[in-house]
Amino acid sequence: MKHCTFIVLSLALLAACGQPNLSTTSPGGVLNATLVTEAESTHNGTVALRIADDRDSTLLRIPTIGLETDRQRFADNLRLLGVSAPTTVTDDYIMITGKRRHCLNQGTERIYSLMNDAGDTLTLTLRAYNDGIAFKYGIHAASGDSVVRELTTYLIPEGTKRWTQSYDAQSYERFYDPTTDGKGTRFGWRPATQEWAYPALVEIDDAHYALITEANIRRDHCGSLLDNEADHSRYQVRYADPKQPCTGAWESPWRVLIIGSLPTVVESTLVTDLADPNRFADRSWIKPGTAAWIYWAYNHGSDNYQIVKQYIDLAARMRWRYDLIDAEWDRMGNGGTVEDAVRYALSKGVKPMIWYNSSISWLQGAPTPQFRLNDPEKREREFAWLDSIGVVGAKIDFFAGDQASTMNYYLDLLEDAARHKLMLNFHGATLPRGWQRTYPNMMTVEAVYGAEWYNNNPMLTNVAAAHNATLPFTRNVVGSMDYTPGTFTDSQHPHITTHGHELALQVLFESALQHRPDRPETYYTLPEAVQHLLTVLPTVWDKTLLLAGYPGTDVVMARRDGDTWYIAGINGTDEPRTLRFSLDRIASVATKALLIKDGGDSHSFDIQTDYPLPSDNVIEVDCLARGGFTMTVCPTD
């Protein structure tokens, strides 16, 4: 009866007052989103969203919103019941990982109530921030009901440039292809299906870009993807599961559009702003840092105790906090066991982490250990054992898609690991969607076509430079990315990026756990200034700025730790290029900097320890083809 009374009163209010203001405007007036009802739509009962800038110029259209359960339908049969008054939402929190420790953002929220022709109610919670728009659905469902389809569709007209990754539910390891027709090329290959993963970057005009993704996957949510099979200009949200249980009050994850200039997109923390707050009372045991990593150089795991010791010695000598004991440690030989390796690491002042197979995806011929984490009782015993011997974290690999069952498994792992003060790194895994705020022991996630692929096939060699110059604008925007940068030598397949380029990736690619992949002897023979930078370089930041660049062409970023700025840039092209950028956004009293750039060839460095900073703050650095540089700016030596 109360529900019916609310509907009657809402309809009476609309009839008396006429069409209400249906726009939600960000606190600074930078963006606004307007609900377009059937009165303005060409289709009766259809509800859409229009997103505009501060001059009311349309930036994006979402021509269809709504969803369906197996008992309720909210599609082209909707009527507006009412809309709440605008309220201000403030996100103010401290991160342990990511591009900015202190995150502060404000948005304007309004809740729209819509009714279908059966009298069922759909709520649309919409937030407008100065750096983006987000919305989510809410319904009340009967017992046993399931959500079966979402109608959210993003309109990206043909001719609009976009960078999209074909959907790979197992690992999100594809390239972000620049296209204008919505078909994708995969660097010359046509994808098998018209399915696309988050995030997707769209160039709206010279001043505006939009990064499309989702945030705040909760227990029993599946992930989603984008499908433009029916119309290459219309990207519809599609669930990874055919059904999602939704008994009682149910809310969808946030649909997220980070909108603005390229610096606005790259520097945004909107994905974590929209996530549930941190759940841990004590976070003192969570420590970002650098790790030595054995797999890349040998294309093998950690079954050889003597080689494992070499990487522990590397971490100790370079003063890196961690060493990752990779796959196959359960059959370690040649002088010691995994417990011997852990004791050796601790004796050297190095904190050990070890690898596990999630055992829900690749099993036939896959690395071991397997089936140690799936059952709650076994998982508890395993995590308790790790804690007892001094292991501080685990890398868990080979997950199986974005189904709700897999998402629940991630959450189980994070929650159970936290009880034993274990940090986690997910590999062969789904994309970060804000869990790094809710569960801060999630230190990093792969979900990227990274340097590991030099071991698998020759494809990365020729496209790595452009790919690397695209990732800061796409994948790395939404969370820590375990690319494993810094391959100065070769593994199974060669790299043709320069040493300057590879060093720059250590700054450009944010990962709270930064795994260094090359051989110990490689690091020992690097110039002293390069070794020192690799020793002191942080993995979490007070501030991140995009200073210059364009996806796939070049990128220059600055990251601050305390009063020290680390600046890095890469050339993503096959021709020499001068990277030009301004230091105006950097607050520093320094007059000189340490500059490490390309030397006379791709395998050497030009190191300038007293590089003078110009009075006009404009820097130009010449880079070789596929080259790069790093610069350290601080008020002291």
Structure confidence by residue, pLDDT tens digits, 285-317: 999 999 999 999 988 879 999 999 999 999 999
pLDDT surpasses 60 at 501: yes
Q: Round to whole Å and give the CA distance between 512 and 247.
A: 37
Percent of the chain at pLDDT exceeding 70: 95
pLDDT surpasses 90 at 142: no
Residue 590, pLDDT score: 87
Exposure string of 507-536, with b = 16+ CB inside 10 Å and e = fewer, is: bbbbbbbbbbbbbbebbeebeebbeebbee
Q: Round to whole Å and give the CA distance between 76 and 486.
A: 52
For 330, the 3-state DSSP assignment is helix
* Interval 615-634: pLDDT, tens: 999 999 999 999 999 999 99
CB 322 within 8 A of CB 334: no
* Interval 328-352: pLDDT, tens: 999 999 999 999 999 999 999 999 9
* Interval 211-266: pLDDT, tens: 999 999 999 999 999 999 999 999 999 999 999 999 899 999 999 999 999 999 99
Q: Round to whole Å and give the CA distance between 445 and 448.
A: 8
pLDDT surpasses 50 at 42: no
Give mean pLDDT, residues 165-187. 90
Who's near 192: CB < 8 A, 6+ residues apart? 166
pLDDT surpasses 80 at 474: yes
Residue 235, pLDDT score: 98
Q: Round to whole Å and give the CA distance between 166 and 452.
A: 19
Beta strand ranges found along 130-190 (DSSP E): 132-141, 146-150, 153-155, 162-166, 176-179
What token pair was written down for 531? Answer: 């070794």
Residue 39, pLDDT score: 53
* Interval 427-463: pLDDT, tens: 999 999 999 999 999 999 999 999 999 999 999 999 9
pLDDT surpasses 70 at 41: no
Percent of the chain at pLDDT exceeding 90: 90
Exposure string of 274-311, with b = 16+ CB inside 10 Å and e = fewer, is: bbeebebeeeeebbbbbbbbbbbbeebbbbbbebbbeb
Residue 12 pLDDT grade (very low, low, confident, very high; cuts 50, 70, 90): very low
Residue 2, pLDDT score: 38
Residue 188, pLDDT score: 61
* Interval 544-559: pLDDT, tens: 999 999 999 999 999 9
Residue 6, pLDDT score: 40
Residue 192, pLDDT score: 75
* Interval 355-399: pLDDT, tens: 999 999 999 999 999 999 999 999 999 999 999 999 999 999 999
Residue 298, pLDDT score: 87
Identity at 297, one-letter amino acid code: A
Give mean pLDDT, residues 23-27. 98
Give mean pLDDT, residues 14-36. 83
**If you average pLDDT over every residue of the chain, what do you get?**
94
What token pair was written down for 136? Answer: 């989510």
The C-alpha angle with vertex 160 and arms to 157 and 163, in degrees rounded to 5, equals 115
pLDDT surpasses 80 at 45: yes
Q: Round to whole Å and give the CA distance between 619 and 580.
A: 6
CB 555 within 8 A of CB 548: yes
Ordered domains of the chain (ranges, CATH)? 23-273 (2.70.98.10), 290-537 (3.20.20.70), 548-633 (2.60.40.1180)
pTM score, two decimals? 0.96
CB 562 within 8 A of CB 633: no
Residue 500: half-sphere exposure toward Cβ, Cα within 13 Å: 30
CB 171 within 8 A of CB 426: no
